[in-house]
């Protein structure tokens, strides 16, 4: 077993009397070219997306971000990202709020409570949820979840808690922010729970035993030893889940319904709305003017920037944490 650094060092050590072989040069050149291609690709993506958004950037500048309008009427065209940023924020944070306790609960269950025989199957089941494609979850959302929410759950919640503006009049079609939140929760649950589970598995056994020996109940041990130990990693896992929710376009498009009646910024979870990703998915094909197309790409640029920041930081934290705990202990320093 070797680290990547050692391998490279090994092959770069000068061999006296050995002339440069054509094969060596070719392989290194070809492999290096491939790496260059990957790098160029990312640069190309950043460039193309910015270039595509440029007409809108030039026209609106940064004020696009807080302009609450999407008016394609010729002569009155005005585009802004505010309602979609709001929709993205509400759906992603809502999903995170629902998924966090569920994921932590699942992780605790799988590491501390479940009988040994159940651990494997249940873990596999939860991870299978991650394998379901978003379009299938969206299909289920439209045809199964939506009608149930519309006819039973949303009206009951509205009747019971209608004084809270969050639970306003339910939408008549089953598509709503709430439906999108439920769908997104199901999509980010596997990621967050599997990372949390691995973190919990890495808690040093002696610390756990020590707490128990000192008289803690099981729950007190979890709260006092496991949570503090895993806190940073759980935060990173939640951020990763957030990144996944931000970028989800298809399932959200299928169940969120699109902004109705002017503004998308309202507190009613049971009304329809749009997110950055769903607006792009539903409108790019019918974009009628260059400015509208550029504005849609501008939305994509904003989405890209947010996703990159979130995913990048979360992945780094997770990997650093995993390395520290020896999860995947055979991995060397990959950078």
Partner 1 sequence: MSAHGITRADLQAVNLPRRRLVNRLMQALATLAAAIAVAALVLIVWSVAKRGASALNLDLLTRDPAPFSFTPVKQGLENAFVGSLVLVGLATAMALPVGLLVAVYLTEYARPAIRSSVSLVLDVLNGVPAIVIGIFVYGLLVLGHGQSGWAGAFALACLMLPLVTRSTMEVLVLVPSSLREASLGLGIPRWRTTLSIVLPQTIGGVVTGTVLAVARIAGETAPLLFTSSIVGSQTSWSPTHALQSVPVAIFELSEQADPGSHARAWAAAFVLLLFILFTSLAGRWVATRNRRRLSTSR
Partner 2 sequence: MPKPGTSIRITLVLALAALATAALAATAGAAPKRHAATLTGAGSTLIQPAVQGVWGPGYAAATGTQVNYSGIGSSGGIAAITGRTVDFGASDAPLSADQMTACNGCVQIPWALSATVPTYNVPGVGDTKLRLTGPVLANMFLGHITNWNDAAIKKLNPGLSLPNLKITIAHRSDGSGDTYAFTDYLSKVSSEWRANEGANTTINWPAGVGGRGNAGVAAVISSTPGAIGYVSDAYALGNHLSKARLRNAYGKFTLPGITGIEDAAQTVKKVPADNRMSIVDPPATKKYAAAWPISTFTYIIVPTNSKNATDLRHFIFWALSPKQQLSIKKLIFAPIPKVVLVAAEKTLLKIHAAG
Q: Which residues contact 277 (CB under 8 A, 6 or more apart)?
A: 88, 246, 247, 248, 249, 252, 253, 303
φ, ψ of residue 80 to 5 degrees: the values are -155, 160
Question: Quick one: 162 or 258, whose CB is closer to partner 1?
Answer: 258
Residue from 251, 274, 246, 277 nearest 132 by CA: 251
Closest approach of partner 1 to the CB of residue 99, in Å: 10
Q: Give the number of other Cβ atoms within 10 Å of residue 177's Cβ.
A: 29
Closest approach of partner 1 to the CB of residue 267, in Å: 26
Strand partners, 273: 257
Site string for partner 1, 158-187 (x = CB under 8 A): ----------------------------x-
φ, ψ of residue 161 to 5 degrees: the values are -120, 25
Question: Quick one: 60 or 306, whose CB is closer to partner 1?
Answer: 306
**Residue from 10, 62, 117, 329 binding partner 1 (CB under 8 A):** 10
Q: Residues interacting with partner 2, by CB under 8 A? A: 71-74, 147, 171-175, 257-262, 272, 282-283, 285-289, 293
Strand partners, 71: 78
Decide: is 149 part of the binding site for partner 1 (CB under 8 A): no
Q: Distances in Å between the alpha carbon of 1 and those of 5, 28, 67, 327, 334?
A: 12, 22, 56, 16, 14
Question: Quick one: 212 or 260, whose CB is closer to partner 2?
Answer: 260
Closest approach of partner 1 to the CB of residue 335, in Å: 3
Question: Quick one: 42 or 164, whose CB is closer to partner 1?
Answer: 42
DSSP string, 131-143: HS-HHHHHHHIII
Contact region with partner 1 (CB under 8 A), list: 38-46, 62-70, 75-83, 200-208: 38-46
DSSP H stretches of helix in the chain:
4-12, 22-60, 82-108, 116-131, 134-140, 146-148, 154-161, 177-201, 205-213, 218-221, 227-247, 250-256, 276-283, 290-325
Segment 281 to 310, residues that bind partner 1, using CB under 8 A: 281, 284-285, 297, 300, 303-304, 307-308, 310
Decide: is 54 part of the binding site for partner 1 (CB under 8 A): no
Closest approach of partner 2 to the CB of residue 287, in Å: 6
Structure tokens at 287: 């974009």
Structure tokens at 272: 């329809």
Decide: is 97 part of the binding site for partner 1 (CB under 8 A): no
**Residue from 17, 23, 74, 115 binding partner 1 (CB under 8 A):** 23
Closest approach of partner 2 to the CB of residue 152, in Å: 15
Decide: is 188 part of the binding site for partner 1 (CB under 8 A): no
| 114 CA to centre of own chain | 28
Closest approach of partner 1 to the CB of residue 324, in Å: 18
Contact region with partner 1 (CB under 8 A), list: 11-19, 74-82, 87-95, 261-269: 11-19
Distance in angstroms (rounded) separating the CA atoms of residues 95 and 183: 8
Decide: is 209 part of the binding site for partner 1 (CB under 8 A): no
Distance in angstroms (rounded) separating the CA atoms of residues 142 and 280: 19
Residue from 257, 241, 104 nearest 178 by CA: 257
**Residue from 92, 134, 272, 273 binding partner 1 (CB under 8 A):** 134
Distance in angstroms (rounded) separating the CA atoms of residues 156 and 159: 5
Strand partners, 79: 70
Closest approach of partner 1 to the CB of residue 178, in Å: 16
**Residue from 89, 139, 265, 317 binding partner 1 (CB under 8 A):** 139
Q: How many residues contact partner 1, by CB under 8 A?
A: 104
Decide: is 219 part of the binding site for partner 1 (CB under 8 A): yes
* Residues present in the chain in total: 335
């Amino acid at each position: 077993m070797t680290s990547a650094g050692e391998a490279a060092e090994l092959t770069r050590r000068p061999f006296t009397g050995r002339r440069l072989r054509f094969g060596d040069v070719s392989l290194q050149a070809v492999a290096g070219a491939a790496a260059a291609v990957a790098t160029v690709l990312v640069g190309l993506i950043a460039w193309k997306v910015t270039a595509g958004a440029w007409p809108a950037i030039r026209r609106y500048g940064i004020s696009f971000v807080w302009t609450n309008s999407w008016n394609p009427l010729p002569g009155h065209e005005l585009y802004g990202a505010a309602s979609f940023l709001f929709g993205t924020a509400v759906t992603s944070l809502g999903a995170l709020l629902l998924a966090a306790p569920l994921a932590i609960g699942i992780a605790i269950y799988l590491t501390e409570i479940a009988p040994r025989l159940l651990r494997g199957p249940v873990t596999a089941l939860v991870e299978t949820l991650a394998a379901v494609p978003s379009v299938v979850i969206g299909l289920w959302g439209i045809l199964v979840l939506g009608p149930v929410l519309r006819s039973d759950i949303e009206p009951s919640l509205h009747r019971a808690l209608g004084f809270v503006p969050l639970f306003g009049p339910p939408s008549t079609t089953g598509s709503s922010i709430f439906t999108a939140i439920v769908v997104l929760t199901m999509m980010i649950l596997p990621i967050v729970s599997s990372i949390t589970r691995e973190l919990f598995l890495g808690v040093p056994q002696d610390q756990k035993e020590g707490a128990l020996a000192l008289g803690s109940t099981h729950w007190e041990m979890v709260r006092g030893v496991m949570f503090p130990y895993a806190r940073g990693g759980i935060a990173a896992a939640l951020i990763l889940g957030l990144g996944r929710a931000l970028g989800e376009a298809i399932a959200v498009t299928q169940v969120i319904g699109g902004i109705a009646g002017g503004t998308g910024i309202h507190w009613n979870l049971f009304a329809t709305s749009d997110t950055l990703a769903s607006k792009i998915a539903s409108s790019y094909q019918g974009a009628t003017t260059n400015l509208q197309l550029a504005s849609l790409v501008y939305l994509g640029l904003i989405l890209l920037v947010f996703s990159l920041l979130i995913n990048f930081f979360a992945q780094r934290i997770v990997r650093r944490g995993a390395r520290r705990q020896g999860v995947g202990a055979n991995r060397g320093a990959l950078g």
